[in-house]
Amino acid sequence: MASLRDIKTKINSTKKTSQITKAMEMVSAAKLNRAESNAKSFVPYMEKIQEVVGSIASGSNNAKHPMLVKRPVKKTGYLVITSDRGLAGAYNSNVLRTSVQTIKERHASSDEYAIIVVGRVGRDYFRKRNYPIINEILALPDQPSFDDVKRITSQTVQMYEDGTFDELYVHYNHYVSKIQQEVSEKRIFPLSSDEVKKPVASYEFEPSEEEILDVLLPQYAESLIYGSLLDGKASEHAARMTAMKNATDNAHELIGTYTLSYNRARQAAITQELTEIVGGAAALS
């Protein structure tokens, strides 16, 4: 049986741990509020650019662009969004497990796919298992702006245009609520006219639809990637907040168990001392 000192030490150390996890929970909650706001505020822009692209793609048979044309798939790209830090529950393991399972189901050889990974956790996971990583993005801010990810998105679009891969999927945690995040797959390339938002108004384009597509379609693809990153960041903060809350609750429960053990051990020690005193007095008499 553990001594009173050992139990007291466990109680104190668990209390300190609970203070840390509680602080981390509060920090993640504050970051989540801002990340959720960023993700929601980006939706109107996404809807409008989808509408404009949809107007060109569905309203004209003359407007063509390489990003709208399906080509033979020799290599598939996967953009996998994870975090740079752990302590986020199943946030990273869920998306990594889904990505690996999808890759195994679709491809028989590592020559058939390539991975662009966001986050140190995902980078370390894929590197350790010798997956083909063609680009890695680390140390993104907790609240990324478009300027922060402009290089990432433009490089990814350029890789598709250069033929590094013939289609691209992004795997990320979609934010549903503070207690629910779902691993999602979204196809970025090639862009399909069936997937863009249908226009609710008519547009006139100058100088020409082709020239507008040359500028607009890369921006549209970049916005899809940026929207996924915002969604993933909101999910990360929510997952970490929930994980730290559970850790704090578990610590309090453990403190209660240790305190009960401490009281029982203390009571047993007092009873033992009283028994010895009474026994000694009886022997003297």
Full residue range of the structural domain in which residue 89 is found: 25-242
What's the structural domain count of the chain?
Answer: 1
Instruction: Report if residue 111 sits inside a domain.
Output: yes
CA 149 vs CA 110, 167, 210, 238, 253: distances in Å? 27, 20, 26, 21, 42
pLDDT of 240-281, one tens digit each?
999 999 999 999 999 999 999 889 888 888 888 788 777 777
Query: Residue 181 — φ and ψ, nearest 5°?
Result: -135, 140
Query: Residue 261 — φ and ψ, nearest 5°?
Result: -65, -40
Instruction: Report if residue 102 sits inside a domain.
Output: yes
Using alpha carbons, select from 84, 49, 64 the residue that is nearest to residue 222: 49
Instruction: Report if residue 146 sits inside a domain.
Output: yes
Query: Residue 235 — φ and ψ, nearest 5°?
Result: -65, -40
Above pLDDT 70, what percent of the chain?
89
**44-62: average pLDDT:** 71
Determine which of 123-132, 176-185, 211-220 has the lowest per-residue pLDDT on average.
211-220
Instruction: Report if residue 12 sits inside a domain.
Output: no
Read off the pTM: 0.85
Q: Does position 4 have pLDDT exceeding 80, yes or no? A: yes
Q: Amino acid identity, residue 112? A: E
pLDDT of 113-161, one tens digit each?
999 999 999 999 999 999 999 999 998 888 888 888 888 888 888 888 8
Instruction: Report if residue 136 sits inside a domain.
Output: yes
**CATH number where 208 lies:** 3.40.1380.10
Q: Does position 195 have pLDDT exceeding 70, yes or no? A: no
